[in-house]
Amino acid sequence: MGSHYDVVVVGAGFAGLYAVHKMRDELGLDVQAFEAAGGVGGTWWWNRYPGARCDFESIHYSYSFSEEIQREWEWSERFAGQPEILAYLEWVADKLDVRRAFRFNTRVTSTTWDDKAARWIICTDDGATCTARFVVSCVGGLSVAKEPEFPGSETFRGELYRTSSWPHEPVDLTGKRVAVIGTGSTGIQVIQEIANEAAELTVFQRTPNFAAPLGNEPVDLAQRRWNAEHHAELRAGSRQHMIGVPYDPPSGPALAATPDERRRIFDKYWDRGGFRLLVSTFSDVIFNQQANETIAEYIRERIRERVKDPATAALLCPTDHPYASKRPPFETGYYEAYNLPHVHLVDVRSAPIEAITPTGVRTSSKSYEFDVIILATGFDVFTRPLLNLGLRGRDGLKLEDRWANGPTSYLGVQIAGFPNLFVINGPKSAVALYNVPLATEDNVNFVAAALARAIADKTATFEATYEAEEAWGRLCEGILNLTVIPHSKGSWYMGENIPGKARAAYFFSGGAPLYRAICAEIAHVGYGGFALDRVSAPIPP
Ligand code: NA7
**What is the full DSSP assignment across 314-382?**
HHHS--SS-TTSSPPPEESSHHHHTTSTTEEEEETTTS-EEEE-SSEEEESS-EEE-SEEEE---B--T
- pLDDT tens per residue, range 208-226: 999 999 999 999 999 999 9
Ligand 1 atom nearest residue 182's Cα: 7
CA 215 to chain centre: 21
Task: Tell which residue, 410, 519, 532, 385, has the closest CA to residue 36.
Answer: 385
The conformation of residue 147, written as its DSSP 8-state character, comes to P
- pLDDT tens per residue, range 107-146: 999 999 999 999 999 999 999 999 999 999 999 999 999 9
pLDDT at 1: 74
| 148 confidence band (pLDDT: 50, 70, 90) | confident
d(CA 426, CA 423): 5
Ligand 1, CB within 6 Å, residue ranges: 142, 148-150, 181-187, 204, 206-207, 327, 348, 353, 376-379, 490, 492, 497
**Is the per-residue pLDDT at 207 higher than 90?**
yes
322 contacts: CB under 8 Å, gap ≥ 6: 289, 292, 293, 296, 484, 487, 488
Q: How far is the CA of 133 from the centre of ligand 1 (A)?
A: 38
Average confidence (pLDDT) over 426-431: 97
Enumerate the H helices of 425-507 as residue ranges.
436-456, 466-480
- How much is the ipTM here? 0.99
Per DSSP, the chain holds a count of helices (H) and strands (E) of 17, 20
Phi (first) and psi of residue 129, to 5 degrees: -135, 140
Q: Which long-range contacts (CB under 8 A, 24 or more apart) does 143-146 make?
A: 143/11, 143/13, 143/42, 143/43, 143/46, 143/379, 143/385, 144/379, 144/380, 144/384, 144/385, 144/388, 145/375, 145/377, 145/378, 145/379, 145/380, 146/377, 146/378, 146/379, 146/380, 146/497, 146/498
Helix 231-239 × helix 221-229 angle, to 10°: 70
Q: How far is the CA of 61 from the centre of ligand 1 (A)?
A: 23
- pLDDT tens per residue, range 332-353: 999 999 999 999 999 999 999 9
Give the dihedral of Cα atoms 487, 488, 494, 495; nearest 10 deg: 140
| 538 confidence band (pLDDT: 50, 70, 90) | very low
Q: Across-strand partners of 204?
A: 181, 346
Rounded to the nearest integer, the mean pLDDT of the chain is 96
Task: Tell which residue, 150, 139, 265, 280, has the closest CA to residue 204.
Answer: 150
Distances (CA, A) of 11 to 56, 75, 367, 454: 22, 24, 41, 23
**Is the per-residue pLDDT at 437 higher than 90?**
yes
d(CA 518, CA 532): 19
d(CA 442, CA 523): 12
Task: Tell which residue, 360, 381, 449, has the closest CA to residue 413.
Answer: 449
**Is the per-residue pLDDT at 540 higher than 80?**
no
| 533 confidence band (pLDDT: 50, 70, 90) | confident
- pLDDT tens per residue, range 56-104: 999 999 999 999 999 999 999 999 999 999 999 999 999 999 999 999 9
Average confidence (pLDDT) over 473-479: 98
pLDDT at 101: 98
362 contacts: CB under 8 Å, gap ≥ 6: 353, 354, 355, 356, 368
Which residue has the least CA distance to atom 12 on ligand 1?
Answer: 182
pLDDT at 465: 96
Ligand 1 atom nearest residue 186's Cα: 26
Which residue has the least CA distance to atom 3 on ligand 1?
Answer: 378
**Is the per-residue pLDDT at 378 higher than 80?**
yes
- pLDDT tens per residue, range 34-55: 999 999 999 999 999 999 999 9
Which residue has the least CA distance to atom 37 on ligand 1?
Answer: 207
Q: Which long-range contacts (CB under 8 A, 24 or more apart) does 347-353 make?
A: 347/205, 347/206, 347/315, 348/181, 348/204, 348/205, 348/206, 349/205, 349/206, 349/207, 352/206, 353/150, 353/181, 353/204
d(CA 66, CA 101): 20
